[in-house]
Structure 1
Amino acid sequence: MPSARDRLEVILSRLAARAGDERVFTRLYQEVARAAADAADARRKAGVTLGPLDGMIVSIKDLFDVAGEPTTAGSDMLRTASPAPRDAAIVRRLRQAGAVILGKTNMTEFAFTAIGDNLHYGTPGNATDASLIPGGSSSGAGVAVGEGTSEISIGSDTGGSVRIPASLNGVVGFKPTARRVPRDGAFPLSTTLDSIGPLARSVAQCAAADAVMAGEEPALLVPASLAGLRVGIPRGVLFEETEGQVATAFDQCLRKVELAGARIADLSIDDLLADMRAATKRGTIAAMEGAEIHADWLTTGASVPVDPHVSGPLSRALAVPASVYMRTIRRRKALAAAMEERLASIDVLASPTTPIVAPSIVSMASDEALRGRAEGLLLRNTQVANQFDLCAISLPMPGTARPAGLMLMARSGHDHHLFRFAAAVEALLGRP
């Protein structure tokens, strides 16, 4: 494997060539990254390692604090915010593990919306076709891994914001059980639903990054046997309006997993999904909690323009009474417990990550009705893991003209099991 410095310089030269129209990264740390890469190479030469992330080229979403600079979270409003006094907890842990932090990646404003567009910093084009949306909110993270300008990207996932861009850009994306990874120094959207997860080219890379961020000792990832693996398929709402190529690819993946010895059976969760929809009818948890975070400027008016796709839903959620919010949180806890019980008979729940492939950026900008429908479909399957406090991973599915993901979900706290199952499925399907 080439040295960390050589790999870094290849990436930096690619970024320099498009410096006049950079939309994937919002900030680069060239000299700091070079120093970290050189240190990693020196350790390697001396036969010393800090672990599997030592010398890996990593980017972080533009909502993680880096000491000495404002955290803009994809918004013009925060360009002049006070500098962060210290690195975010996960940034400190990544540095301590020898990761070479290259820069910050673009995102949707305040981590809201799933399309991946940004009015202030530009919209990163999809890694496979720049005319297509990247998916959000960790838009730049998905594109950076997909195009090879990061070996690992760190994003946040509130309703699918790691897994949606992973699906649309053809990479692996992992959402942990939320409580496992500290969120100190990460600009919040929803204190209940936010989780921090990696995007990478392989399950093993995601598992290594997740372990470091969770403060665990990275261990060799040994794929589980697929023989006897119990896979539940939530036929029903999560399969409606699925594009033909996505449905076909999913069925082909399922057939391969079944031939490898897995036990596959339908497992309906539509009643729980309907109960969650009813509980969040007045306002989603993300919108209500986001409205509280942004209450000051929502009340007085923003000092600079804010994307109306962000300000609109937050403004409406601000009007929802506190009693409704408290009732929603209480109901969510009960429904998460019911989902835990429902999933006790299986190892993983499998579905398409996104029922559609990436539409064009132009179509999303020119047709509000089409945008609204696309956003609803992009979020529909992924948000289940956040709403019910599960862990989940998206793997690239072979056999589609444009990238689409296979999503595996597991019970709260079963992250390590999920990684082992996902590694086995990845080996069976092959990497793109």
Structure 2
Amino acid sequence: MKNKPTLATLAEDLEGGRTSARELVDQCLARIADASGEGIRTFLHVDREAAIEAAEAMDRLRAARAAPSPYAGIPVSIKDLFDIKGQVTRAGSRALEDSPPAEADATAVARLRRAGFIVIGRTNMTEFAYSGIGINPHYGTPKSAWQRDVGHVPGGSSSGAAVSIADGMAYGALGTDTGGSCRIPAAYNGIVGFKPTQRRVPLDGGVPLSFTLDSFGPLARTVGCCAVLDAVLADEPVRPLQPRPIRGMRLAVPTTVVLDELEDEVARTFERALEVLSRQGALLERIAVPEFLDVAAMNVKGGFAASESYAWHRYLITSKGDVYDPRVSSRILRGESLSAADYIDLLAARRSLIARSTVRLAPYDALVMPTTAITPPRIADLADDKAFTKANLLSLRNCTLINMIDGCAISLPAHREGGAPVGLMLAAASGSDRRIFELAAGMEDVIRV
């Protein structure tokens, strides 16, 4: 991301008077409005007037040396899954279009505003966050930043969030991650996406997919940008990020599940990144993680996503099921056949999975693996349901493992400039968020060589 503005450089430019919040907002609005770009498919609502008013207010506060943070005045996008006071939260669906406007901001949105970030608009997403692909038949599908003339999927479910960053329509994005929905679109658009330890960011004010697995996280251009946004979302102090030296990093490469069915380009890029890390002094060990084999069995009937989404949707889908994307409604309805005993078994199995995985990961600083098994497929190739299902599973598989073990993870771009986008994921057990950021900061400028 060299020569592209980051939150740190923007904060410096704002402080030094080299730019203003109004200028940043105007630039983002112009990119969104560009008829040749993806703005019309990336944003479901652009908060133009409110963003301009907020920018002018932040400029006055900065002039009075009363800006709420160094980042005050920087535009961010908000996934359509989050409540924003006075706006309807549609979650990428037609089924919620007639819902009343939200009475208050989601906590995550409120915390961004409190730091002075400016909400530029609501971004498109997979309907009800139920896919890793990012296709939305209701509002259109924003194209991945890669080979836009061809038209590749953006990744889901935070599709518009990622494209808003890749195209400079915002400088930070708020997304969600239930099985990879921050990391997959980050990988498919060549940016950074972070899934925090779930308990760190409150889930109120967001339409749920799975109460058990949902987490709210940032997408941005760099690791440092994501670290700033993550701290704000978790209501923690924004501390300087100290990159860890690669020499001496203890990294485990799982050989169970995560390397299966890799697309050739993903395999080559991943192995090249590992070679670079090894040459730089990282201590790499390929290990079996048999716990990962348990996840497919836990999800065979639809898992937490089906059971918990059905609980939330069961009345809405009865009255408005005809306006749902059939690829979404069919997955939600799998939860109808799950019994209370099935759900209790799931909870017990996950507790065991977390405990055993935590022990397995303890000797290492992080797991390292491909974020997805494939590069973003062409949108046109996924009209067939069978092709869609396969691509969706291969997009979600590796990321889902980390949600299931209650871990935290980050996706970094690992491909060379101009190549097919491939993400490298660093992951660790619950509560290891700061360490993951330090490790990622130490390697983000190295692994794309």
Structure-2-length-normalised TM-score: 0.92
Identical pairs, percent = 43
Q: Give the AA of the match of 1:12.
A: L
Aligned partners of 1:51 and 1:218 also within 8 Å:
no
Q: Give the AA of the match of 2:268.
A: T
Residue 175, structure 1, aligned to residue 195, structure 2? yes
**2:266 — aligned with what?**
246
Following superposition, the deviation at residue 430 of structure 1 comes to 5.9
**2:415 — aligned with what?**
398
**2:4 — aligned with what?**
none
Which whole-Å deviations, capped at 9, do the CAs of 1:304-326 have from their partners, x for residues lacking one?
41111111011122111111011
Aligned partners of 1:52 and 1:208 also within 8 Å:
no
**1:386 — aligned with what?**
403
1:421-432, aligned counterparts within 5 Å?
421-429=439-447
**2:123 — aligned with what?**
105
**2:178 — aligned with what?**
158
The equivalent position to 2:353 in structure 1, one of 318, 321, 335, is 335
1:47-58, aligned counterparts within 5 Å?
47-58=65-76
Shift of the 304–85 alpha-carbon distance from structure 1 to 2, 3 Å rule, reads farther
Following superposition, the deviation at residue 81 of structure 1 comes to 0.5
Following superposition, the deviation at residue 21 of structure 1 comes to 7.4
The equivalent position to 2:161 in structure 1, one of 129, 137, 141, is 141
Which whole-Å deviations, capped at 9, do the CAs of 1:385-405 have from their partners, x for residues lacking one?
111100000000133721110
**2:304 — aligned with what?**
285
Aligned partners of 1:4 and 1:37 also within 8 Å:
yes
**2:94 — aligned with what?**
76
Aligned partners of 1:76 and 1:304 also within 8 Å:
no
SS at 2:401 equivalent? helix
Aligned partners of 1:52 and 1:218 also within 8 Å:
no
SS at 2:395 equivalent? helix
Q: Give the AA of the match of 1:237.
A: V
**1:320 — aligned with what?**
338
Q: Give the AA of the match of 2:274.
A: L
**2:235 — aligned with what?**
215
SS at 1:60 equivalent? strand
Which whole-Å deviations, capped at 9, do the CAs of 1:203-253 have from their partners, x for residues lacking one?
011000000010101111111122211000002321111112211111111
Structure 2 unaligned runs (5+)? 1-12, 14-18
Following superposition, the deviation at residue 428 of structure 1 comes to 2.3
Following superposition, the deviation at residue 41 of structure 1 comes to 2.7
**1:63 — aligned with what?**
81
SS at 1:406 equivalent? strand
The equivalent position to 1:295 in structure 2, one of 291, 314, 318, is 314
- Looking at structure 2, the residues matched to 37 and 234 of structure 1 have their Cα atoms a distance apart, in angstroms, of 46
- Looking at structure 1, the residues matched to 337 and 220 of structure 2 have their Cα atoms a distance apart, in angstroms, of 39
- Looking at structure 2, the residues matched to 215 and 35 of structure 1 have their Cα atoms a distance apart, in angstroms, of 25
- Looking at structure 2, the residues matched to 383 and 279 of structure 1 have their Cα atoms a distance apart, in angstroms, of 12
Residue 348, structure 1, aligned to residue 375, structure 2? no
**1:370 — aligned with what?**
387
Aligned partners of 2:38 and 2:143 also within 8 Å:
no
- Looking at structure 1, the residues matched to 84 and 256 of structure 2 have their Cα atoms a distance apart, in angstroms, of 43
Following superposition, the deviation at residue 128 of structure 1 comes to 2.5
SS at 2:347 equivalent? helix
**1:36 — aligned with what?**
54
SS at 1:427 equivalent? coil
The equivalent position to 2:323 in structure 1, one of 300, 305, 325, is 305
1:96-135, aligned counterparts within 5 Å?
96-130=114-148, 131-135=151-155
Following superposition, the deviation at residue 48 of structure 1 comes to 4.6
The equivalent position to 2:207 in structure 1, one of 171, 187, 199, is 187
Shift of the 260–40 alpha-carbon distance from structure 1 to 2, 3 Å rule, reads farther
Aligned partners of 2:83 and 2:206 also within 8 Å:
yes
**2:29 — aligned with what?**
12
SS at 2:261 equivalent? coil
Structure-1-length-normalised TM-score: 0.95
- Looking at structure 2, the residues matched to 121 and 78 of structure 1 have their Cα atoms a distance apart, in angstroms, of 13
- Looking at structure 2, the residues matched to 412 and 303 of structure 1 have their Cα atoms a distance apart, in angstroms, of 37
**2:6 — aligned with what?**
none
Which whole-Å deviations, capped at 9, do the CAs of 1:361-418 have from their partners, x for residues lacking one?
11112x2221111111001101011111000000001337211100000110010111
Aligned partners of 1:128 and 1:146 also within 8 Å:
no
- Looking at structure 1, the residues matched to 420 and 168 of structure 2 have their Cα atoms a distance apart, in angstroms, of 17
- Looking at structure 2, the residues matched to 121 and 3 of structure 1 have their Cα atoms a distance apart, in angstroms, of 33
**1:234 — aligned with what?**
254
Aligned partners of 1:127 and 1:144 also within 8 Å:
no
Q: Give the AA of the match of 1:244.
A: D
- Looking at structure 2, the residues matched to 207 and 101 of structure 1 have their Cα atoms a distance apart, in angstroms, of 19
Aligned partners of 2:31 and 2:39 also within 8 Å:
no
- Looking at structure 2, the residues matched to 221 and 54 of structure 1 have their Cα atoms a distance apart, in angstroms, of 19
Superposition RMSD on alpha carbons, in Å?
Answer: 1.7
Which whole-Å deviations, capped at 9, do the CAs of 1:148-195 have from their partners, x for residues lacking one?
111111100000001000000000000000110011101111000000
SS at 2:445 equivalent? helix
Aligned partners of 2:33 and 2:39 also within 8 Å:
no
- Looking at structure 1, the residues matched to 313 and 295 of structure 2 have their Cα atoms a distance apart, in angstroms, of 24
Aligned partners of 1:53 and 1:208 also within 8 Å:
no
Q: Give the AA of the match of 1:309.
A: R
Q: Give the AA of the match of 1:227.
A: R
Residue 361, structure 1, aligned to residue 364, structure 2? no
